[in-house]
């Protein structure tokens, strides 16, 4: 026989609602106030100083005047391909100062081997803009979504050999990508109340740069923990709850993901399955001990509870999630099993 307790909300596919369209976001930034992310030729010549700052930050990276070719580079973390985050562009400020005697001084910035252009003419040599700060902008092609774990930004100086030579500076390197995609899972998405659910944030962003989490559990409760636990109350009738997560980066940028009808609590629909049972023996002298065994089809149906009514005023329950239940009441009356499944 079959026992039905329907909750229509369960029949709705549990789909994650994509985040609303959001602007591109800062994924990673180096204010150039330390050399932590940098390496290169003649590394000891490179230093951090207010002298090399464009003014957006207190410090910038550069070195004293030189008549020797110089090169320094930094590694920018690339978002993993499966993160849903794609590279958009890199920006920075840079400056080449040159002694007038060095009319042929040159400076370049490359990103993953491609030269950064500074004007509509495709100029890549900072020598054209000598003794002034230049804003660098490098847009990524679609192919940049895959590749090595790091993106390499390289700063090169070719100062010539006359006079005092030249020096080059860089400040505030900023890597911008598509918006953050808040992602999360739950330890369970359905069951009878009170139902405790452990939520796990799985959002990807550059290390240490997510600073805020805001959860809404759909029942009026909220949390600012990264991995919160929430208990949904018992309900006499079923209820589906939307769950949302908003993540905020250290630059104050945020995005939200909503999973509609993600958690179902209370009396839930059994779905399309059948229940049958057998009892052994089915007759005999009183008192009679009978072993009952229930089966469910399809077998993979997720049964969350079992309840037996043996017809003589007694009842039995089985282990949660078990596909078989064999209570041993003393009764000559055939039982009726009732069960609920999400």
pLDDT digits (tens, 9 = 90+) for 201-219: 999 999 999 999 999 999 9
Q: Residues, the chain, total?
A: 342
Q: Going by C-beta distance under 8 Å and a sequence separation of 6 or more, which residues neighbour residue 193?
A: 232, 233, 234, 235, 265, 266
C-beta atoms surrounding 30 within 10 Å: 23
User: DSSP per residue over 129-141, as a string?
Assistant: GTTSEEEEEEEPP
Query: Cβ(126)–Cβ(134) under 8 Å?
Result: yes
Per the prediction, the chain carries an average pLDDT of: 82
Q: In this predicted model, what pLDDT tens digit does every residue of 73-112 receive, in sequence order?
A: 999 999 998 888 999 999 999 999 998 876 788 999 999 9
Name the least confident of 2-16, 135-149, 277-291. 2-16
Provide the 3-class DSSP secondary structure of residue 77. strand
Highest mean pLDDT among 195-199, 282-286, 313-317: 195-199
Q: How many CB atoms lie within 10 A of CB 161?
A: 10
Q: Is 301 helix (H, G, I), strand (E, B) or coil?
A: coil
Residue 337's pLDDT is what? 52
């Amino acid at each position: 026989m079959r026992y039905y307790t329907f909750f229509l909300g369960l029949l709705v596919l549990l789909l994650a609602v994509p985040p609303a369209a959001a602007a591109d976001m800062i994924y990673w930034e180096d204010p150039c106030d330390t050399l932590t992310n940098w390496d290169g030729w003649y590394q000891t010549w490179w230093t951090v100083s207010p002298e090399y700052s464009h003014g957006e930050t207190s410090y910038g990276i550069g070195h004293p005047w030189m008549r020797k070719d110089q090169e320094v580079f930094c590694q920018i973390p690339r978002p993993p391909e499966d993160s849903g985050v794609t590279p958009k562009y890199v920006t920075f400020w840079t400056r080449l100062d040159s002694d007038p005697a060095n009319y042929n001084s040159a400076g370049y910035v490359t990103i993953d081997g491609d030269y950064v252009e500074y004007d509509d003419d495709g100029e890549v040599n900072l020598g054209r803009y000598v003794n002034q700060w230049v804003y660098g902008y490098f847009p990524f092609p679609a192919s940049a979504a895959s590749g090595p774990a790091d993106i390499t930004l390289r700063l090169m100086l070719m100062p010539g050999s006359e006079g005092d030579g030249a020096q080059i500076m860089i400040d505030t390197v900023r890597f911008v990508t598509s918006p953050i995609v808040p992602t999360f899972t739950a330890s369970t998405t359905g069951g009878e109340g009170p139902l405790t659910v452990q939520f796990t944030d799985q959002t990807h962003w550059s290390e240490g740069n997510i600073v805020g989490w805001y959860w809404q559990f759909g029942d009026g409760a909220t949390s600012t923990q990264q991995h919160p636990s929430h208990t949904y109350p018992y309900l006499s009738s079923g209820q589906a709850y939307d769950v949302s997560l908003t993540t905020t980066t250290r630059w104050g940028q945020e995005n939200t993901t909503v999973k509609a009808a993600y958690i179902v609590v209370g009396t839930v629909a059994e779905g399309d399955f059948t229940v049958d049972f057998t009892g052994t023996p089915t007759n005999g002298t009183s008192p009679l001990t009978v072993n009952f065994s229930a089966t469910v089809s399809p077998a993979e149906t997720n049964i969350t509870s079992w309840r037996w009514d043996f017809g003589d005023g007694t009842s039995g329950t089985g282990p949660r999630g078990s596909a078989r239940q064999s209570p041993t009441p003393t009764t000559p009356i055939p039982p009726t099993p009732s069960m609920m499944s999400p």
